[in-house]
Structure 1
Amino acid sequence: MKQSPFQLHAISCALTTLCFGMIGQANAAGFALNEQNASGAGVAYAGKAAIGEDASAAWFNPASMSRLKERQVVLGGHYIDLNGEFNNEGTTQPPGAPVGRNEGDFGEEGYIPNFHLVVPFNDRINFGLSVATPFGLKTDFQPDWIGRFQGITSDIKSLNINPSASYKVNEQWSVGAGVSVQKLDAKLTSASVVGLGAESLTTIAGDGWGYGFNLGVMGQLTPATRVGMAYRSAIEQDLEGNVTFGGPAAATQNSDLSSKIRLPASLAISSVTELNPKWQLLTDATWTEWSTIQQLRFDRQNAGALAAPIPVQDYEWKNSWRFAVGGIYKYSDTINLKAGVAYDITPVPDERRKVRLPDEDRITFAVGSQYKFDKATTFDVAFQYVMPDKAKIDSTEQTATGPNRVLGTAEGDAFILSGQVSYKF
């Protein structure tokens, strides 16, 4: 049986999120996550490429590992509470579709772990290893919400293993480099119209591996000011998965799928300035090459002879910036207090915003504290509040019975609680 428009629509919507991830109102714009340590969370990740505060330097800028003189391990975790709501402003459901819930909540909880290790080899060379989660979060609309034909559940996970090394050129300058092995994993669902008054559930599952590198340089410009620059390469992911449909004709509609997506490169420029013995000022500007995402193409694998090709998706994302400033106050020999603020610019054009990616500009406020338990052990805790702009959505997709236009505004916020322990050995 020839594939119907509802099948093509469901596949393209679900595969979009398979490639990108539904981050919604997470900390970084687009679908990236900054939460790779708790010591940086307290200053909204200002100064991240220059501070070299603990073993997480191996991730943020391998050159800054040169500041560490002892072996150190960092274990951290982050709890993210995303609160999101879609406010309907004229959505029209496909002709004949069952009436849906007028509004949709898409908030969900998420947990992000990370691990970092730095081992000095000699006075000039350090080796590092980071295991981090640079992309991913989970969102979940109600199964009967009014926009279910363009997305219900998105569960995206990533894992990045990043060995690295630093070299201290002299007392002022250090350089570093590393390689990344990255996996993406996703499970996605959406509704499909199968006839007047009837619908079914479409599920996408898939994963892929990609490889990249990162470079860094750090310099002590003056006795009080240190700067760092860190670059992460783009990573091309080869994704393989499958699509399954509910309903009596599912066996003839299901198939394997493959796709390629080029995840963006990024460049961070940071500074740390000792204002006086008590205060540090930190800054950061991070550029992300989101323009790598212009179109998505998908290929069916092992499909039936009558299976139609999957339409190309146009996104036309643009490059974006993130700016952050923060401060660290040395309250005592054992306690540091931290605060920071960041501003993210979305890469998503207003006319290309989708249900699964209601991304907008956002401001992040952060506070944190660091406690040195003894000479070997340090604890960090941080809290971030993410406040995005309202995201206008006007997205129309075709179904088997006619067009489905989702028109409304997505709004919400996120709370992020971070903690870590650092241990020298």
Structure 2
Amino acid sequence: MNKKRLFIRSAVAVAVAASSTSAFAAGFQLNAQSATGIGRAFAGDAVIADNAAVMARNPAAMALFDENAFSIGFESITTMIEVSDVTYRNIATGFTPTSVADTDDVGDTSIAPNVHLIVPINEKFAVGINAYSNFGTKTEFANDYAATEYGGLTDVKSFNLGLAGSYRLNDQWSFGAGLDLIYGEGTMKRQPSAQLNGFIQAIPSLSPLAGMPLLDVDGATGTAIGFNIGTVYELDENNRFGFSYRYSPEFEAEDDKGQTITLPLPDIAEFSGFHKIEDSKFAVHYSVQYIGWGSFDQIEFSNLQGSVVSGDYNKDYVWQDGWHYSIGGTYYLNNDWTLRAGYMYDTSAQDSITSISVPDSDRQWLSAGLTYNIDQKSTIDFGFTYLMGKEVSVSESTEVSGIPVSSVTATTQANAILMGLQYSRSF
């Protein structure tokens, strides 16, 4: 019985780790810095510099401001996740196929605020401070979901406090660097399915484990330090390029019970261009962004208490680096109104490992937005994006020492709506 107890605990640990990352691929990189960015699919955002929010994408772009600039706003992210054609099997029923009802209420709406301030010191130097969210998503399956050990609740939020400086070398080159203090909060809960719970209860030596959660990390919090660097090259006032690199640290969060989750976060590099057609009202802009998801090799769970899983557990992953390709256009209609639109193709972080609780896929962004100039110093921005994910066929299983414990097959699709509203002022 001791071997069987270890077998069940190990199986549960694998199932938990395999189903606890819905926030990272589908919503980890939030892109919640500005409403203007949402309105152009973030095309050119590392160099356009139409308000103070640019410092979140490239600190060197602060050199493009000759007076103080302030922006404040928020973004709403509504995820629409469908899980269909689900077939669940487990050891408790001799792996008899069980059809699971389709569900389309797994997603949620998150609100992500942002604020940015840039202060030029002189013609050479500028400093800035900002705060925004770079994580923020929630997926929650119903408690009675038949394959609940592959679902459960994942709720991740973060707050990024940044401090940066820029230096203008000459008329063409500017450089910048900044520090990021990241505060994060996460809740991850998993329960065994009714069938697995009944199986555990039927074994006398395992029956004390019946009804215990697989994972119950509630409100884990932590901080980490990262940094970012960047440069801007200006051909002239209508044509410029920007490049930035963001180092993301390994992040550890701990709850009140001493349970910890350790996540390796991806580094990000971005190249952007902006070109305004001379003597016209139109500009085109674009970005290519690299996200180092290949570094996301495992999630570490430590000091687990009060659940079937106990002690420490590490789960390996096979993830791939991601890419964003975006292009957009801005039309300066008149002194009062500016219109913008954009398109992005966003590649999946997942490769051979997929999950019903990680509805990740290649995605397309369709974006539109506008700016209203209240006066010469103040503007209101609105941005809207409809994000379309592909259908993904999922075949997920749990094994221990080559012995199957449970499996699930399904089709997943994740779409989203992003909206942003922002006020900006120069002074």
Q: What TM-score comes out, normalization by structure 2 length?
A: 0.87
Q: Distance in 2 between matches of 1:303 and 1:282?
A: 53
- Residue equivalent to 1:370: 371
CA contact (8 A) 1:39 1:382 kept: yes
- How far off is 1:187 after superposition? 0.8
- Residue equivalent to 2:421: 419
Q: Distance in 1 between matches of 2:289 and 2:309?
A: 43
- How far off is 1:374 after superposition? 0.8
Are residues 238 and 335 of structure 1, via their aligned partners in 2, closer, same or farther at CA, if it must alter by over 3 Å?
same
- Residue equivalent to 2:205: none
Which deviates further from its counterpart, 184-193 or 380-389?
184-193
Q: Distance in 2 between matches of 1:13 and 1:380?
A: 44
- Residue equivalent to 1:140: 140
Per-residue deviation, residues 150-203 of structure 1 (Å, max 9, x unmatched): 221111101111100111111111110000111221112221233348755442
Q: Distance in 2 between matches of 1:232 and 1:102?
A: 42
Q: Which runs of 5+ in 1 are unaligned?
A: 243-254
Alignment of 1:365-404 (within 5 A): 365-397=366-398, 403-404=405-406
Per-residue deviation, residues 333-390 of structure 1 (Å, max 9, x unmatched): 11100000000111211x3112332211000000000011012210000110000111
- Residue equivalent to 1:204: 217
CA contact (8 A) 2:305 2:311 kept: no
- Residue equivalent to 1:324: 326
Q: Distance in 2 between matches of 1:296 and 1:23?
A: 11
Task: Give the 3-state SS of the residue equivalent to 2:88 in structure 1.
Answer: coil
Q: Distance in 2 between matches of 1:9 and 1:377?
A: 58
- How far off is 1:104 after superposition? 2.6
- How far off is 1:88 after superposition? 2.3
Q: Distance in 2 between matches of 1:14 and 1:302?
A: 14
- How far off is 1:222 after superposition? 4.3
- Is the aligned partner of 1:224 residue 2:223? no
**Letter matched to residue 317 of structure 2:** Y
- Residue equivalent to 1:251: none
Which deviates further from its counterpart, 162-171 or 311-320?
311-320
CA contact (8 A) 1:11 1:310 kept: no
Alignment of 1:240-389 (within 5 A): 240-241=254-255, 256-276=258-278, 277-300=280-303, 309-349=311-351, 351-389=352-390
- Residue equivalent to 2:182: 182
Are residues 232 and 62 of structure 1, via their aligned partners in 2, closer, same or farther at CA, if it must alter by over 3 Å?
same
- Residue equivalent to 2:228: 214
Task: Give the 3-state SS of the residue equivalent to 2:56 in structure 1.
Answer: helix
Task: Give the 3-state SS of the residue equivalent to 2:421 in structure 1.
Answer: strand
Which deviates further from its counterpart, 339-348 or 196-205?
196-205
Q: Distance in 1 between matches of 2:185 and 2:51?
A: 29
Task: Give the 3-state SS of the residue equivalent to 1:358 in structure 2.
Answer: coil
- Is the aligned partner of 1:194 residue 2:197? yes
- How far off is 1:289 after superposition? 1.0
Q: Aligned-residue CA RMSD in angstroms?
A: 2.8
- Is the aligned partner of 1:37 residue 2:50? no
- How far off is 1:147 after superposition? 2.5
- Is the aligned partner of 1:152 residue 2:152? yes
Q: Which runs of 5+ in 2 are unaligned?
A: 202-209
Q: Distance in 1 between matches of 2:309 and 2:141?
A: 29
Q: What TM-score comes out, normalization by structure 1 length?
A: 0.87
- Is the aligned partner of 1:102 residue 2:133? no
Q: Distance in 1 between matches of 2:157 and 2:310?
A: 29
**Letter matched to residue 217 of structure 1:** T
Q: Distance in 2 between matches of 1:422 and 1:223?
A: 22
Are residues 227 and 171 of structure 1, via their aligned partners in 2, closer, same or farther at CA, if it must alter by over 3 Å?
same
Q: Distance in 1 between matches of 2:405 and 2:14?
A: 15
CA contact (8 A) 1:5 1:398 kept: no
**Letter matched to residue 92 of structure 1:** R
Q: Distance in 2 between matches of 1:200 and 1:261?
A: 25
Task: Give the 3-state SS of the residue equivalent to 2:82 in structure 1.
Answer: strand
Q: Distance in 1 between matches of 2:295 and 2:387?
A: 26
CA contact (8 A) 1:104 1:142 kept: no
- Residue equivalent to 1:65: 62
Are residues 25 and 347 of structure 1, via their aligned partners in 2, closer, same or farther at CA, if it must alter by over 3 Å?
closer
Task: Give the 3-state SS of the residue equivalent to 1:32 in structure 2.
Answer: coil
- Residue equivalent to 2:48: 51
Are residues 85 and 5 of structure 1, via their aligned partners in 2, closer, same or farther at CA, if it must alter by over 3 Å?
farther
- How far off is 1:404 after superposition? 2.0
Are residues 104 and 301 of structure 1, via their aligned partners in 2, closer, same or farther at CA, if it must alter by over 3 Å?
closer
Using the aligned pairs only, state the percent identity: 25
CA contact (8 A) 2:264 2:298 kept: no
Per-residue deviation, residues 94-125 of structure 1 (Å, max 9, x unmatched): 5259x785223312111111111111111211
Which deviates further from its counterpart, 137-146 or 42-51?
137-146
Q: Distance in 2 between matches of 1:88 and 1:273?
A: 47
Q: Distance in 1 between matches of 2:119 and 2:140?
A: 41
CA contact (8 A) 2:302 2:313 kept: no
Task: Give the 3-state SS of the residue equivalent to 1:90 in structure 2.
Answer: strand
Are residues 290 and 51 of structure 1, via their aligned partners in 2, closer, same or farther at CA, if it must alter by over 3 Å?
same
